[in-house]
């Protein structure tokens, strides 16, 4: 009887572990730009609202860099961005906010600043709305620290395979396909829910 009980308990543990493994969150990786209209549309109409509803099954990896280039300058870097120097500054602001905020604060801040699409001009107001410590973020993006953090994002982005050619660039579970990119921009909720290998949350039916 004891052996039978032990085997039953073991089977239960194995079944639980299998369930836990199948219920891994869906990793959504996004590479975007602070003044890009396509990035704005995706963040405001797809990424932020879907994350609010499905955060329990999503693992975010959000990066503000896009079609930027950086060049070493002393201990830091100078940047060239697709939509000009204001975009570079906005990208760094978002990178610093990501470092010095909780995920909840960062996502609210990113959504707010992207909705306005004016880069750092919206920083202070959006920080107040989102509970972000803007003094810390401001000091970061106006310093070598912010430049170094932004360079690290660029190094990370450069390792993407295939390489980024469009912004926003979206990967699901670290995999990129053009079909998936198009689908995520149109209906990220469906993409995430379809990729989640367990009982779907109620918000998948919204």
pLDDT of 11 higher than 50? no
Q: What is the predicted pLDDT for the residue at 22?
A: 57
Instruction: Report if residue 19 sits inside a domain.
Output: no
- Strand-pairing partners, residue 62, are 30
pLDDT of 170 higher than 90? yes
| pLDDT tens by residue, 73-122 | 999 999 999 999 999 999 999 999 999 999 999 999 999 999 999 999 99
Write out the residue range of the structural domain in which residue 91 sits: 25-205
Q: How far apart are CA 132 and CA 130, in angstroms?
A: 5
Instruction: Report if residue 152 sits inside a domain.
Output: yes
Instruction: Report if residue 109 sits inside a domain.
Output: yes
What is the domain count for the chain? 1
Above pLDDT 70, what percent of the chain? 89
CB atoms within 10 A of CB 184: 23
**DSSP state string for 92-117:** HHHHHHHHTS-HHHHHHHHHHHHHHT
* Residue 23 binned pLDDT confidence (cut-offs 50, 70, 90): confident
Instruction: Report if residue 110 sits inside a domain.
Output: yes
Instruction: Report if residue 147 sits inside a domain.
Output: yes
Average pLDDT of the segment spanning 9-22: 45
Instruction: Report if residue 1 sits inside a domain.
Output: no
Instruction: Report if residue 87 sits inside a domain.
Output: yes
CB atoms within 10 A of CB 125: 13
Which residue has tokens 């918000």? Answer: 203
* Residue 15 binned pLDDT confidence (cut-offs 50, 70, 90): very low
CATH number for the domain that contains residue 138: 3.40.30.10
pLDDT of 1 higher than 60? no
pTM for this model (two decimals): 0.88
Instruction: Report if residue 59 sits inside a domain.
Output: yes
């Amino acid at each position: 009887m004891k052996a039978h009980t032990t085997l039953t308990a073991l089977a239960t543990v194995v079944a639980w572990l299998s369930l836990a493994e199948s219920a891994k969150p869906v990793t959504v990786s996004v590479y975007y730009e602070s003044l890009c209209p396509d990035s704005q549309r995706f963040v405001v109409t797809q990424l932020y609202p879907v994350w609010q509803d499905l955060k329990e099954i999503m693992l975010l990896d959000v990066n503000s860099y896009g079609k930027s280039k950086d060049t070493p300058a002393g201990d830091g870097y100078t940047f060239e961005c697709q939509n000009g120097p204001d975009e570079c500054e906005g990208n760094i602001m978002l990178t610093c906010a990501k470092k010095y905020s909780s995920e909840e604060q960062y996502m609210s801040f990113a959504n707010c600043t992207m909705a306005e699409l004016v880069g750092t001009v919206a920083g202070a107001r959006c920080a107040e709305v989102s509970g972000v410590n803007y003094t810390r973020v401001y000091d970061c993006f106006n310093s070598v620290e912010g430049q170094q953090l932004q360079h690290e994002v660029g190094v990370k982005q450069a390792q993407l395979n295939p390489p980024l050619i469009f912004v926003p660039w979206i990967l699901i579970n670290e995999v990129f396909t053009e079909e998936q990119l198009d689908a995520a921009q149109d209906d990220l909720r469906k993409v995430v829910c379809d990729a989640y290998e367990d009982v779907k949350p109620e918000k998948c039916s919204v």
